[in-house]
Amino acid sequence: MSRKKSIALIIEQLENNFFANIVQGAKMAAQELGLNLLVVEFGRVHTKGHKKEQRYQDYHYVDYQRNTLISLANTGGVDLVALGPGTLCDDSSAAKELLELIADKKKLIISDNIPGCACIRYDNKKGIKEAVRYLVKEKHCSRIVMLAGPKDNDDANERLDAYREAMHENGLTISSGMISYGEFTAAESINAARELMEKNPMAEAFVCANDAMAIALYRLLKEKDIRIGKDVYVVGFDNGVECMQVEPQLASVNADSVNLGYEAMIIGSRMIDGESVGMTVTDSYFVPRPSCGFEPYSELMQFEKRRDIGVNTFYDIDRLCDRIVEYIFTGITHDYQSECQKKLIEDSIRRIISRYFGNVVKRNTSDDIYNEFANMIERGGLEYMDPNRLFRVFDTIYNMYCTKDMTMTGRSEIEHLLAKMKRKVVELLSVKAENIRKIDENVERNITRFFVSLMSLSGGMENECLGVLKSLEKLGVINAYLYMYDEPVLNREDDKWVLPESLLLKAYRNREEGAVSVPRSRQRVSRDEIIGNLILTGRIPETFVVIDLFYDVWQYGFILLDITNDYYQGMDIIGYQLCNAVHGMVMRDKERKYLLEKEELAEKELSYISEEIDVAGFLDLREFEGMAESMMPDSRGSIMGVSVMGTGSLIEMDKEYGSRSVKDMIKHCGSILKENCPGENIFGYMGNGVFASFGLFDDPEKIVEIAGQISTKAGELFVPVKTAVSAFRYHEELKIRDILLESVDRIS
């Protein structure tokens, strides 16, 4: 079986809609092309001035263990790396350093222009120029200001250049203070937006470098009771989903990030095949909305003015339907499904206008129109249209029809038709809202169940590795690979660390087999076999998200998993919990090894005592614990006494000199317990030179008396001998091993 092409897509944050959309488009293309896609959520590379000690657990931008992730993307299993240095790095020096780390790998730069590298990016200028032209020509604005992006970001600089060029082309000047520089997030742009408003109290329109910055501006304008879309106009860039969620809806430059990711994979596949690629520019265009004073019904109003003469040509109908559909169609056109839906919406509007306004043969009855419309929206039309705008179109059409000299029968027919169409939309909206609510609840419930599963891991390293993958079932993950380093790796600041030559594939899961623990003999995998791994299942899924497993400065490995878009918003907390779970798993394994080593040492000590010193009548560790457990009382409040004597100094002396007299003293120490702990006591050797007794007592004063006698006689024998006597009142949660360990700790 030949190895598939593999591309590593390095992005900043899956929780950010821009990057989630890039991944969505990349996954679509990977499935179509049969690519293996590795999605690496990188975080931001900081400059030296940032606090590197801030870790992922604190929800800050961090290096996110870049050594691991870059090294993973740089393995032989990856054919090409796609990344956007401008979104990953704070400045050009950090971007240069990042590219140097993958200097030997084929690279595709996304949303940046790096000389000598293949690049794909938006046309940053076209949409901005269209927006400024609209504000000048349609809204007669002359005072247009710019909330620009970071000065060291290429996209932001191109959008700023486009604003300057558009102002010049429209005969407008830019004076001091008409440009303010912010960041590409709402929180970090609020001060720049406030400064721009203060310096430009007479501004008529604001052009923003992205939608998040425009939404920050919204907040400030509303605080001052400035009416957006009436007193001032606001334009964003990206045309993300948030544009439709604010009031008024935000006019924006459409730059389709889904299409950006989709086209990036197509170009990357061609590059792997050896094709030379330069700069690819995807289209951008201005989308007017109410925030810039756009009156979406202007075309309908013109049509209303012509109601007396009717629509006489198919050209008029085509033009009108096209404008109406552009108004109600809100989905981003990036695939066959959305294009097809757009045509179906347009066809439904065309049928209504042709029947009731056009001077054409009425081939469609009202039932035909309704049935076609109902079928269209049931097949997903609501994913692409704004129902409120559709209803407004229906109302306008009805009012226009009623103003004509129509019969009562005609009016009743169109009223009945449009009412039925509205009811169908409302019905499907209710179903859609309920489905979304159920999906959200299901995602939240599954994440909670996932956390609970992680918390209940137990049973040894191999079983716990299997448990991690089983817990991912709650998130709908079918395919996953869990890789661990032989030992935790310390990743210090500025280390030039790379993945080890080999690591361990502890467990995997797939649809056919479920979660499978890999036998130790088959766990060893070379780093170049991590991606495109055909060792176990003969295939891997097309798309993985990689999560680096670390805690503080220690790295334990990483997990590759395919996960649906529904869970992208929770990737931060999912990754955080996986890191905690693996850290706990490794710590428990170390504890188990330590206790095992301690037990083995105790066995050796017991063997030494048994062979070299006569301690007849003393139980070994396991027998002592077992018998003590059987003697535990049933009633709460019963008193248990544990006497402990440590002869560690004598043991060391005997090992050093092999003296018969020392052996006799060790033997006599054991006899002191028997002589001074009368009644139903048992006696045992705990290992490492420690003797112990366990018994039940009615009188606490008796335990105090015993403690004094043991201490006195042991001191008379040999001063370094340590003793302790402890009393415990029984309760259900009390464990015999805890009692013994606590008593031994008192003499250590």
Query: Read out DSSP for 563-583?
Result: --GGGGGGHHHHHHHHHHHHH
The pLDDT value recorded for residue 46 is: 53
Tokens of 716: 């008379």
Judge whether residue 110 has pLDDT over 60.
yes
- pLDDT score at 228: 94
Same domain, 641 and 737: yes
Could you read off the pLDDT of 531-542 as tens digits, one per residue? Answer: 755 444 445 556
User: Do 401 and 486 fall within a single domain?
Assistant: no
Helix (H/G/I), strand (E/B), else coil: 606: helix
The encoded tokens of residue 591 equal 């504890």
Is the pLDDT at 277 greater than 60, yes or no? Answer: yes
pLDDT at 161 over 60: yes
Position 681 in a domain: yes
Structural domain count, the chain: 4
This prediction has a pTM of 0.64
Residue 347 — pLDDT band, cuts 50, 70, 90? confident
Residue 723 included in any domain = yes
Query: Which of 19-28, 338-347, 604-613 reaches the highest mean pLDDT?
Result: 19-28
Last residue of one domain, picked from the residues 558, 590, 622? 590
Look at residue 510 in the predicted model and tell me its pLDDT.
82
List, in sequence order, every residue forming a beta bridge with 525; answer none if it has no partner: 503
Banded pLDDT at 237 (limits 50, 70, 90) = very high
3-state secondary structure of 269: helix
Same domain, 635 and 741: yes
- Both 178 and 232 in one domain: the answer is yes
The pLDDT assigned to 57 comes to 38
> Following DSSP, what letter does each residue of 22-33 receive, concatenated?
HHHHHHHHHHHH
Per 3-state DSSP, what percentage of the chain is helix, strand, and coil (rounded to 5)? 50, 20, 30
Q: Could you tell me the two tokens for 299?
A: 């075309």
pLDDT at res. 143: 94
Residue 181 has pLDDT above 90, yes or no: yes
Q: Is residue 207 a contact partner of residue 165, using CB atoms and an 8 Å limit? A: no
304, part of any domain:
no
pLDDT in tens, 731-742: 777 788 888 888
Closest listed residue to residue 253, CA positions, set 228, 284, 229, 281: 284
Residues 737 and 619 in one domain: yes
Helix, coil or strand: residue 674:
helix
Which of 380, 407, 442 corresponds to the end of one domain? 442
Is residue 237 within 8 A of residue 255, CB to CB? The reply is yes
Please provide the DSSP assignment of 457-506 as one string.
--S-HHHHHHHHHHHGGGGT---EEEEEEEEEEE--TT------SEEEEE
- Whether 106 and 69 share a structural domain: yes
Structural domain ending residue among the three candidates 590, 605, 640: 590
Q: 12-16, 48-52, 377-381, 506-510: which range is least confident on average?
A: 48-52
Evaluate if residue 603 carries a pLDDT over 70. no
pLDDT, position 203: 94
Residue 495 within a domain: yes
**H or E stretch at 664:** helix 660-676
pLDDT digits (tens, 9 = 90+) for 438-487: 767 777 788 888 878 887 787 788 888 888 988 888 888 888 899 999 88
Alpha-carbon span 327 to 392, nearest angstrom: 11
H-helix or E-strand containing 119?
A: strand 118-122
CATH code where residue 709 lies: 3.30.70.270
Grouping H, G, I as helix, E, B as strand and the rest as coil, residue 592 is helix
Cα 355 from Cα 422, distance rounded (Å): 18
* Domain co-membership, 71 together with 218: no
Q: What is the pLDDT of residues 642-700, one digit of tens each?
A: 888 887 777 777 666 666 667 777 777 878 888 888 777 888 877 767 888 888 888 87
**What CA–CA distance (Å, rounded) separates 71 from 208?**
37
Contacts of 30-35 with CB under 8 Å at 24 or more apart are: 30/265, 30/542, 30/543, 31/542, 31/543, 33/5, 33/265, 33/266, 33/269, 34/4, 34/5, 34/542, 35/4, 35/5, 35/6, 35/7, 35/265, 35/268, 35/269, 35/542
63-109 residue pLDDT tens: 445 667 778 888 888 889 998 877 777 667 777 777 887 888 899 98
By residue count, the chain amounts to 748
- pLDDT of the residue at 533: 56
Q: Which helix (H) or strand (E) holds 543?
A: strand 543-551
709 close to 608: Cβ distance less than 8 angstroms:
no
Decide if 448 is inside a domain: no
Instruction: Report how far residue 502's alpha carbon sits from residue 63's, in angstroms, rounded to the nearest whole number.
Output: 24
pLDDT of residue 242: 80
Model pLDDT, residue 53: 43
Mean pLDDT of 512-534: 79
pLDDT of residue 359: 55
* Domain annotation covers residue 480: yes
Same domain, 435 and 467: no
Cα–Cα distance for residue pair 504/521, rounded to 1 Å? 10
CATH number at residue 208: 3.40.50.2300
Please indicate, yes or no, if residue 64 is contained in any of the structural domains. Answer: yes
Residue 1 lies in a domain: no
Q: Encoding tokens for residue 14?
A: 């899956």
CA distance linking residue 534 with residue 385, whole number of Å: 44
552 shares a domain with 470 = yes
The structure tokens 């007396």 sit at 308
The pLDDT, as a whole number, for residue 40 is: 84
Distance CA 289, CA 386 (A): 13
Judge whether 44 and 89 are in contact, CB under 8 Å.
Answer: yes
Is the domain of 183 the same as that of 289?
Answer: yes
Whether the per-residue pLDDT at 384 is higher than 90: the answer is no
323, 437: one domain: yes
pLDDT of 45 higher than 70? no
C-alpha span between 532 and 528 (Å, rounded): 9
Q: Domain range holding 661?
A: 614-745
Query: 39: Cβ–Cβ under 8 A, 6 or more apart, which residues?
Result: 9, 11, 14, 23, 26, 543, 544, 545, 546
CA atoms within 13 A of residue 639's CA, in its CB half-sphere:
12
* Residue 730 and residue 626 share a domain: yes
